[in-house]
Chains A and B, each alone.
Chain A
Amino acid sequence: MERAGIPTALLCNLVTIAERVGAPRIVRTRGIPYPTGDPSLDAEGEKQWRRQLVECALEALQTEVHEPTVFEVGQGRTSTSSAAAPSEVTHA
């Protein structure tokens, strides 16, 4: 989708995998079974968390990135991937 020019914020928990496969805009969630949730909070707290996630996603969508970049709620952009993709293909 990013290749087609549609900036996409990926909300996921396994951030290192997302970085590895090259997703450019990554927002860290709290759990695999509830990407935009947090059952450890009460209903109101969970809605607040969800809103913060979506706001963080909007920020990621409005940020220019050049490589896999992780965004954390409340901190904004926190890192760029250190596992940079090789700059050229080596054919043995």
Chain B
Amino acid sequence: MPPGRECKYGPVALTRLVHTVREVGFGERTRFDEGVLTVSADEARSVLADDALASVELSWASPGQSVRIVKVLDAVEPRTKGPGGGGIFPGFVGPARPQGRGETHVLRGAAVVTAGYLPRAQEALVDLSGPAAALSPLGATHNLVIEFTPAPGAAWEQVDNALRRGALRLATALAEAALDAAPDDVEELASPSPGARGGDLPRIGVVTNLQTQGSFKDVFVYGRSFGAALPTLLDPGELDDGAVVSGQYGHPALKNPTFMHQNHPVVAELRRRHGRDLEFAGVVICPEPVEQGAKEMISLFAAKVCAAAGFDAAILTKEGGGNADADVALKMDALFDLGIQPVGLYAEMAGADGTGPSVVVAPERATAMVSTGNYDHRLQLPEMDKAYGGERLELVKVPATASFEVPTAVVYCALSPLGWGRIAARAG
């Protein structure tokens, strides 16, 4: 940078003030003291109130409990940038203005979770104990579960909108309770800066594809569907501040809920190693078009953005099943053709015995793929004392508290395309 010129959006830094939630409960007022988060059900209900919802029910589901949450929809980590939100969740809670700078308070170890029936939603489950608990990030958080009854005559889209706004507002309100508390951790986060390829440390960025298929299968950026957008360079701080909100309820194991965008695993890894064995080059978000021609255009354009941002390598993440594989494959080849090393995060659909063709759409020229596990691997889940989100698991036609066998595909975020998980498939 020539001396005397300062870039207006120069290296942006975000400070996370982290408050660890150790215990939860209900009480008269919503408060946060010494790691104990108490929620006032009345206050929460008034935050969630909407014409499209006849009633809501609130429950805590905590790690280790004999509890299952079924029909899981979205999950949000309680965060705020100040009283009234301070700009958090721009486009939904805060006004739609670029965020990602300054201070953000985080209630770590807690999540606001909506659960219940919505059209086109595929039944997702979280177990708070047993073999499936470790397979979902929500198995390790204190989950404030919101169950709901739609108002008579309300359109499902309105119900969906109400739940989304309500959960985000509630997540904000919970974090506000910690504004005056001394944080347990202060995390100062670097931001990627412009740079040329081929420097001392390799510049590695991440390309995150967002599902954009309309009602109940859409992802919002600054409050608007990302469906018609072109690939966009984001500051990772914008993810922290909830600029990306999930309204997509398909493919349970392959879900990227709002919680996961707020805590983007690949971004976290790149931030962790920035200045050590790599330079964090940036975040590019892309829609996932449903038509081949558009997929090709978006993929070529994304590669162009990565090249302009000086990526030496790009990690690709997806959202969805085989159709989403196509977007990753096309981008990997487009990046490869520009001399940028692509690595694709793929879940495998290898069948119950693991011998099926594991990748639905593989790249043709690029070949570096990381496995996030086998979709079809069978799990035997134990009986639970309590279940939230529904009375029955329609998938296997049994009570939600029953013991049953399901493929890993049903566990919320188990095959996390954003790389959260610790399972993989290997040649046997």
Contacts and interface: CB of A to CB of B under 8 A. Distances in A.
A83 B426 contact: no
Contacts of A66: none
B364 interface: yes
A92 B427 contact: yes
Sort A-B residue pairs by CB-CB distance and give the 5 closest, nearest first: A92-B427, A91-B427, A83-B364, A92-B426, A90-B367
B423 to A, nearest CB: 15
A83 B427 CA distance: 25
Interface of B: 364, 367, 426-427
Nearest to A83: B364
B253 to A, nearest CB: 21
Interface of A: 83, 90-92
Contacts of A90: 367
Contacts of B427: 91-92
A83 B426 CA distance: 26
Contacts of A92: 426-427
A92 B428 CA distance: 10
Contacts, number: 5
Nearest to A91: B427
Of listed A83, A90, A91, A92, residue having the most chain B CB within 10 A: A92
A92 B364 CA distance: 17
Contacts of B426: 92
A91 B427 CA distance: 7
A17 to B, nearest CB: 13
A90 B368 CA distance: 12
Nearest to A86: B367
A81 to B, nearest CB: 11
A65 to B, nearest CB: 21
B111 to A, nearest CB: 34
A74 B427 CA distance: 47
A57 to B, nearest CB: 28
A21 to B, nearest CB: 11
A50 B314 CA distance: 50
Nearest to A82: B364
A83 B365 CA distance: 9
B74 to A, nearest CB: 34
A10 B103 CA distance: 64
A42 B427 CA distance: 56
Contacts of A83: 364
B334 to A, nearest CB: 16
A49 B428 CA distance: 51
A83 B364 CA distance: 7
Nearest to B371: A92
A90 B367 CA distance: 10
A2 B426 CA distance: 33
5 contacts: A83-B364, A90-B367, A91-B427, A92-B426, A92-B427
A92 B346 CA distance: 14
A6 B367 CA distance: 34
Contacts of B364: 83
Nearest to A84: B364
A71 B364 CA distance: 23
Nearest to A90: B367
A91 B367 CA distance: 13
A50 to B, nearest CB: 30
B118 to A, nearest CB: 35
Contacts of A91: 427
A19 B427 CA distance: 27
A79 to B, nearest CB: 16
A91 to B, nearest CB: 5
B377 to A, nearest CB: 17
A1 B367 CA distance: 31
Nearest to B424: A92
A1 to B, nearest CB: 22
A20 B389 CA distance: 44
B101 to A, nearest CB: 42
A56 to B, nearest CB: 27
B343 to A, nearest CB: 14
A92 B371 CA distance: 11
B322 to A, nearest CB: 14
